[in-house]
Structure formats: structure tokens, C-alpha cells
Amino acid sequence: MKYERDPERIRRVLGDKVQFIQGDIAVAYGGLLAGVGFFGGYPITPASEVAEGMARMLPRVKGTFIQMEDEIGSMAAIIGASWGGQKTMTATSGPGFSLMMENYGYAIMTETPCVIANVQRTGPSTGQPTLGAQGDMMQVRWGSHGDMVAIALCPSTVQECLDMTIECFNLSEKYRHPVVLMTDGEVGHLREKVIIPDEDEMELFERIPATIDKDKFIPFTNSQTRDSKVPDFPAFGTGYRTYVTGLTHNKMGYPATDKQKDHEELITRIITKITDDREILTDVEEIELEDAEIAFVTYGASARPAESVVRMGRKNGIKIGMLRIKLAWPFPRRVINELSKKVNTIIVPEMNLGQMVHPITEYADAGCKIVSAQKIGGEMHLPDELYKILEAEL
């Protein structure tokens, strides 16, 4: 049967409005609320709970869950299902995310909406399966071969795992782009309070279907019905008879593998359809920044010890603030540049050997000192450790 979102049934399956659940389960909840109709996944620590949640809940709202043969297949299946007109999702961790890169690129090239939750763990390779990390922040941005952009969100709390999964779907549907929730093993396995939004407390963006005459429809160009670089979506089975290929294609979707202009036009459009909206996509949280002279710039799990340190520092009279990046890619260039002109020093705590510190350095004013605070091995900074790093910069 074909999936149709049934809000009443979804709420019934999710249960109580206030719950104490793990981040991974909150991701599954967010997917269900957003209206995911197909989930394809493969077991991997620390992301398996997302698939387990989906396996338990999705059939009960008439959606389809399939445990695929691997992460390559998972990514392929959700793209196939998306062309069937459904909202689709998978979840994985580093090793699986590496396998997904092939079809992540395919989804970008073919402008296929879908959502990937990457519950990051340490790497390279198998690394520390049960422990959290933030080592894939560059992989999500640059992981496919060729020119690309990413849309990636970073939850710091279990509630954000739910809310941001919904947001991932909205952005994915709006821009026709694979959107990645960059969570991690720490937040993924943490239990916290979650409030499940009611139907009128959520905004859902639905993919804009192709509606114009079939013989006038051009599938891979600016929308023919709106002022947008995102074309309207000709779901399979709706009579548009669209040819979708990962090869460079012209506006009609036909391969144009030896044509420089077609390639340039296509790639420029699928990149600028997102980067043109950089300001709209900027999503940061500011804590104690009004009079700050020194600031943390953080994202995801590592924002949590930093926030503790901001409170400790303020108690001790240090003018410390924090900018938390909620949407990491496209990178919030303007906000970082403005902050760098306001504070003397920016400290970037990360659970890696320095990844987001690179774009921060790139877009910060040259007069601002950038300090990379690194911790690897599956643990985030202890507040005391981070406090010492802060003190050293005063």
C-alpha cells in the first residue's frame, strides 16, 4: 500500500507528550512526525537505535521499514523511495557514512530529497564504536567526489534530535537535497526530557510536485511555476516520465557527458540553489555574547561543556560568551565574521583534531585570535579542562 501520513496514528504510536528518551529514539520520533514513509537502514553502533525505533513504529503507521544489506543499499533504497514520492530516511555512523558517500553524491546530483542521520563515532575506520565524536564534519561537507555543498544540522540535546530531524526533512524537501543530521554517540545515547510537538506546533514543508502540462515540463532547471532554482518534483508514476541520471544531464535530464556548458550550468544551479539562501539557512544560538570579549564557537555535543564553562566564567567575572552553530553547512560566514570583530579571541572546542575551526578561521577577521581546543578518544572536554583553556587565553 502507498504511505500516507496519518497524524493521529503517528501520535498514538509515539505515546505520551513528555518522555524521557535517548537521542537516537528522538531522531526516529522526528522522522515519524515529519512523515517519513520509508526507512532503509543497516545496524551500526551507536546509531542502531534509530533503525530499531523505526522497525518498531513505522509499520504501525503504515510506512515501510527495510533492513538493507548494507549502507550502500540503504542510501540507494531511500533515494529510490524518494522518487516514488515519499519522504525517506536512513541512519548510520562513520563507517556506514563512508559507504553512503557514493549515493549521497547521487542524491545531490539528481536533486533527490532524503534525510541521513549520522550518529558520529570516532574514526578513521572502525575506531571506537560506542563512543561519540565529531570527526565527520568535513566528510559531510566534502565527502562526495566533485563539486558539492552540504546541508547539515548539529543537535546538542535530545529535544533537538527530534526537532532538527523534522527540520532536516523540511530543508530536504524545500531544496531537493540530501540533508544530514550530524549527531553523535554522546547525544545519541543520552536520555533527556523530550516534549513531542502537537500537529499545530510543527511546520512541515512538503515537496512541491510538478503540476504543469506534461509536454511543457522541464525536469532539471529552475522551477517553472515559482521564482526558485529548485525544480518542481515529478514523482515517478505521475505521468511525467522523467529520466533521472547521476551523469551530467541537460535540462531535460538526458546525459550530456561531453558538454562543458551543460555541466557548468547544472552544477552551478544545484549549488547556488542552496548557497543563495545562506542567510535564511543561518541558525545559531547566542549565549552571553552582548558584552563578551572572548567566545566559544561550538556545535553539537561539545556545546554542552562549553555552556557549563560560560556559566562558571561569568560567575568569576570573565566576559565569556558562546555562539552555538545549529546549522553547520552551509557555513554561517557572516555571523562568524561579525563575532570575530567583536571579541578578541574565539575558542573552538571540538571532539576531533580541529575541523570546524577551519571555516571559522577562514571567515573570521584577521585581528581575532582563533584557538582550536581539541579532544579525541570518545570523550568531550571536561568543563574543568575547557576552563583551563579559557583561562590561558585571558
Site for another protein in 4-23 (CB under 8 A): 9, 12-13, 16, 18-20
Query: 185 vs 359, which CB is nearer to another protein?
Result: 185
Among 35, 54, 83, 181, binds another protein (CB under 8 A): 83
* Residue 389 lies near another protein (rule: CB under 8 A): no
Cβ atoms of 164 and 101 closer than 8 Å: no
Question: Cell triple for residue 123?
Answer: 574514526
* Residue 376 lies near another protein (rule: CB under 8 A): no
Shortest Å, Cβ 193 to another protein: 4
Q: Which string of x and - marks every residue 139-168 that binds another protein (by CB under 8 A)?
A: ------------------------------
The residue to which cell 516514488 is assigned = 84
Q: Which string of x and - marks every residue 34-63 that binds another protein (by CB under 8 A)?
A: ---xx-x----xx------------xx-x-
Which of these ranges, 28-36, 196-204, 274-282, 303-311, lies near another protein under the rule CB under 8 A?
303-311
Spell 180-207 as b/e; 16+ CB within 10 A means b: bbbbbbbbbbbebebebbeeeeeeebeb
Distance CA 284, CA 350 (A): 17
R_g of the chain, CA atoms, integer Å? 21
Question: Cell triple for residue 67?
Answer: 533492513
* Residue 96 lies near another protein (rule: CB under 8 A): no
Site for another protein in 254-273 (CB under 8 A): 254-255
* Residue 243 lies near another protein (rule: CB under 8 A): yes
CA distance to 38, 123, 240, per residue, from 33 (Å):
13, 32, 29
Among 98, 102, 344, 358, binds another protein (CB under 8 A): 102
* Residue 98 lies near another protein (rule: CB under 8 A): no
CB atoms within 10 A of CB 16: 9
Shortest Å, Cβ 147 to another protein: 18
Shortest Å, Cβ 281 to another protein: 26
* Residue 191 lies near another protein (rule: CB under 8 A): yes
Distance CA 320, CA 335 (A): 17
The residue to which cell 552571553 is assigned = 288
Distance CA 47, CA 189 (A): 9
Among 26, 33, 76, 390, binds another protein (CB under 8 A): 76
Cβ atoms of 89 and 36 closer than 8 Å: yes
DSSP string, 271-287: HHHHHTTHHHH--EEEE
Among 4, 206, 226, 247, binds another protein (CB under 8 A): 247
Cβ atoms of 287 and 321 closer than 8 Å: yes
* Residue 383 lies near another protein (rule: CB under 8 A): yes
Which of these ranges, 196-204, 288-296, 365-373, 381-389, lies near another protein under the rule CB under 8 A?
381-389
Between CA 109 and CA 228, with CA 166 as vertex, the angle to 5 degrees is 45
Between CA 69 and CA 268, with CA 179 as vertex, the angle to 5 degrees is 115
Query: 46 vs 123, which CB is nearer to another protein?
Result: 46
* Residue 73 lies near another protein (rule: CB under 8 A): yes
Shortest Å, Cβ 376 to another protein: 16
Shortest Å, Cβ 363 to another protein: 26
Among 251, 259, 269, 311, binds another protein (CB under 8 A): 311
What 8-state DSSP symbol labels residue 381?
P
Among 43, 146, 237, 377, binds another protein (CB under 8 A): 237
